[in-house]
Structure 1
């Protein structure tokens, strides 16, 4: 079998549906093999868009998303998506081309050491030096990409190797069983939880797995123990639950942080060091149980008293089976904080000034989206408001990046979400800065006939940095820019463009766009001027009374 055919056959055996990317001349053998296969090539307008789509596919399905580029500049354009997938624990494989490695006659033209470049930001990177190595290289890459903690992997397939022949057999994928926690750790966890007065679940990034979500639901239903989430843990449990005490979107001082401080025991599930911890431990202070696939990375502010290491879902199930609800648990200790937060949030969301406030925009998006609709966020100050104020009712219905926190991923993520879930509503919220970083993918979305809605929060500046600049007492400088007419810009790609001119118009327009199959772009002017008033004055004034 031709090596490129063997490679694609290995991808098919792994269950690959899509390859996202931009081929170059070094990929032409592989491109022809994809043409003859059952895999669909999603041609994008930039390798970065392809990488973000592949990573989001992995995030939503748990399967490895695959993207493709040529050598040199095509490969370097995958560096940001590689870091995005690696830090965000999204299974993704990158395939890059390379000049012939045996008889190259072009010197170093476009040649860089892509394998070494990818080494610090992937779990696995290799160059295929023989067609016979393809089955094992692909199997190992997929195994590592999906193994906890998931992440990015990379295979370089040189042009001359792709054209070779091989009679090597494809390796069949296997599904390993993850280790489970020792019974002594489970028993000790049960003892500590039953002895606590105000236990609190903290659900973090590593909890965002289907089985974990199911087991956590059963655990909370049995015990009635309240829960909070980190940004990457949003939606693991239904946040419309009265036991939900908030999301750790802000650095400190919010209602949810006060709830965390009231807890005498924090059951920290799926803690990931890429996210800033929402609490700092002190010797002799509140106790912490670390439940995760891996042991804790201990530092001066995180040194859990108990580590339950093993498959998270199984650990939760074992604890749930043994634990008995206790009469002395004060599960209502956080109720006043919940009520105060609701009053605080509702007052801001009712504001009817225009340009629209971010809190009001969050409310309008939530009320327009169906319960299972998927919102993808780019990166900007509005991400805080969505993490804090947008209740997610099920896993992966609010996709945000609190790991690499890169701009430019919002639109490609929405496109991937629509491919995975064609029957669900998909909406992307982007700042004008982040949107323009990959806005060319509108053409890809139109070509694929995707039904997605993109809301651009336009303030004609890099608003997040501008806000920080002001808070650090620097003079305003270097962060304002001009924008195209986003309505005409969308229409030039064959999408539908809309402009919001009143505060009441946003909700109505989103509802309309969700009903009409097309690629929709909504230009919505936004006002960030009350960020400080809301976060620093009203928040402190209200929460300090509690």
Structure 2
């Protein structure tokens, strides 16, 4: 058979459902083979968006998402989304084309060293220089992408190799299970738990999996130990739970950090230093236990005293089986912090100001979305407000990135989420800056007949950086821009567009759009003018004033 056919059979053997990307001249044999396959090609309008979609597919399924590009500029366009998957621990396999390796009649046209470029941002990168090695390279790429810590793998297939005749068959994936924590580690952590007076759980990204979530819920329900979530750990346990103390949307100064201050033992579950730290460790303070699939990377802000390395769900189960609530545990102050946090959150949730305040926006979206509905956030200041004010009720229902924290991912991530969960409500929430970075994918969403609502939070500026600029006492300079007419923009792609004219219009409009189906773009004017006052002044002051 042709090598390109073998490549596709190897992908089918791995259970691949979709290939996201933009083929080029060097992918034409592979494209022809895909046309005869059960695998669906999702043709995007930019390679970066294809990469974001593949990464999100991997994040939601646990199976590597696959994306495809040509050589040179196609491959360079994938770099941001490959780094997004690598830092965010999302399994992804990238396939790029290349000029013939045996003969190059076009000289060095479009050729860069893609292998060298991909090496620092992937777990595995390999040029395929013989068609016979396709089965082993594909199997290894998928194995590396899936193994803990998940991430990106890359294969380069030149057009002359793709056209070769070959006699080979795909390699069947092997059966494997994650190792579990050694019993002495379990016993030591149980000893720390029994000695602690104010234990606390911090839940991070790697815990955002079904079995782990189930075990953590059982552990919290049995012990009553309060918990805090990181941005990427939202929803592991229902954040309406009476022991949820909030989200560490910023690294210090918020209500959850008062609970962290009192804690004498933190079980840090599924967090690593790639995600922005939810707290800063200092010497001679509370003890921290690292519970994860892999050992802790020691950093100036993170140097745990003990570790439980192995399957997280099993580690938590072992702790649950070995512990009973201790009579000397004291969570009175932590739960007091929770009540203050909830009171403050409620204050802005019903403000009628227009343009909308972010607190009211979050409240309206939460009211509209079902418990299993998915919001996919781009990167901007609104991400902090959603992380801290939006209670996620199920795992992976708030898709945001706090590792690479790239703009432009919100819309493609929502599209991938809708492919994975076609029967769930999905909303993409983007700032006007982030939306315009991959707004061309509206055409892709319309062409694919997706049911999708996109909120564009319009402040005509790069709001996150303006907030930091103002907080630093610097002049307002270099961050304001003008936007297109988003209604006409949506209509040009075949979507429906709306502009909000009053705060109370948002909730009924979102419900109507979801009921209609199709792609809907809602231009939502927002007011971030109080961000410094609230996030940098009022919240830290009020949190600090809580008395034990």
Cα distance in 2 for residues equivalent to 1:544 and 1:189: 30
Return structure 1 stretches of 4+ with deviation > 4 angstroms: none
Comparing 284-293 and 298-307, the one that deviates more: 298-307
1:164-175 paired onto structure 2 within 5 Å: 164-175=164-175
Q: Deviations over 1:162-207 (max 9, x none)?
A: 0011112210012311111110000111111121111101111121
Number of residue equivalences: 546
Cα distance in 2 for residues equivalent to 1:193 and 1:107: 65
Do the aligned residues in 2 keep the contact of 1:223 with 1:325 (CA within 8 Å)?
Answer: yes
Name the residue aligned to 1:386.
386
Where 2:267 maps in the other structure, the secondary structure is strand
Cα distance in 1 for residues equivalent to 2:242 and 2:101: 61
Structure 1 position 217, deviation (Å)? 1.1
Where 1:4 maps in the other structure, the secondary structure is helix
Structure 1 position 28, deviation (Å)? 0.5
Name the residue aligned to 1:159.
159
Where 1:27 maps in the other structure, the secondary structure is helix
Cα distance in 1 for residues equivalent to 2:541 and 2:288: 30
Do the aligned residues in 1 keep the contact of 2:251 with 2:280 (CA within 8 Å)?
Answer: no
Name the residue aligned to 1:492.
492
Cα distance in 2 for residues equivalent to 1:470 and 1:540: 17
Q: Deviations over 1:414-462 (max 9, x none)?
A: 1000000000000010000100010000000000000000000001111
Structure 1 position 299, deviation (Å)? 3.0
Structure 1 position 513, deviation (Å)? 1.0
Where 2:179 maps in the other structure, the secondary structure is coil
TM-score, length basis structure 2: 0.98
Cα distance in 2 for residues equivalent to 1:446 and 1:281: 47
Cα distance in 2 for residues equivalent to 1:69 and 1:286: 48
Name the residue aligned to 1:275.
275
Comparing 472-481 and 115-124, the one that deviates more: 472-481
Cα distance in 2 for residues equivalent to 1:280 and 1:479: 30
Cα distance in 1 for residues equivalent to 2:168 and 2:143: 19
1:111-130 paired onto structure 2 within 5 Å: 111-130=111-130
Do the aligned residues in 1 keep the contact of 2:71 with 2:110 (CA within 8 Å)?
Answer: yes
Cα distance in 2 for residues equivalent to 1:158 and 1:541: 60
Name the residue aligned to 1:375.
375
Structure 1 position 279, deviation (Å)? 2.5
Structure 1 position 533, deviation (Å)? 1.8
TM-score, length basis structure 1: 0.99
Cα distance in 2 for residues equivalent to 1:544 and 1:497: 44
Do the aligned residues in 2 keep the contact of 1:201 with 1:228 (CA within 8 Å)?
Answer: yes
Structure 1 position 290, deviation (Å)? 1.1
Do the aligned residues in 1 keep the contact of 2:276 with 2:403 (CA within 8 Å)?
Answer: no
Name the residue aligned to 1:204.
204
For structure 2, list consecutive stretches of 5 or more residues without a partner in the other structure: none
Cα distance in 1 for residues equivalent to 2:485 and 2:18: 33
Do the aligned residues in 2 keep the contact of 1:460 with 1:483 (CA within 8 Å)?
Answer: yes
Comparing 268-277 and 37-46, the one that deviates more: 268-277
Comparing 466-475 and 3-12, the one that deviates more: 466-475
Q: CA RMSD in A?
A: 1.0
Name the residue aligned to 1:470.
470
Do the aligned residues in 2 keep the contact of 1:198 with 1:333 (CA within 8 Å)?
Answer: no
Name the residue aligned to 1:545.
545
Matched, 1:289 2:289: yes
Where 2:333 maps in the other structure, the secondary structure is coil
Cα distance in 2 for residues equivalent to 1:251 and 1:314: 29
Name the residue aligned to 1:309.
309
Cα distance in 2 for residues equivalent to 1:537 and 1:473: 14
Structure 1 position 75, deviation (Å)? 0.6
Cα distance in 1 for residues equivalent to 2:179 and 2:501: 56
Structure 1 position 23, deviation (Å)? 0.4
Do the aligned residues in 1 keep the contact of 2:251 with 2:279 (CA within 8 Å)?
Answer: no
Structure 1 position 121, deviation (Å)? 0.3
Cα distance in 2 for residues equivalent to 1:467 and 1:535: 10
Structure 1 position 302, deviation (Å)? 2.3
Q: CA 1:299 to 1:413, structure 2 compared with 1: closer, same or farther past 3 Å? A: closer
Where 1:184 maps in the other structure, the secondary structure is helix
Name the residue aligned to 1:195.
195
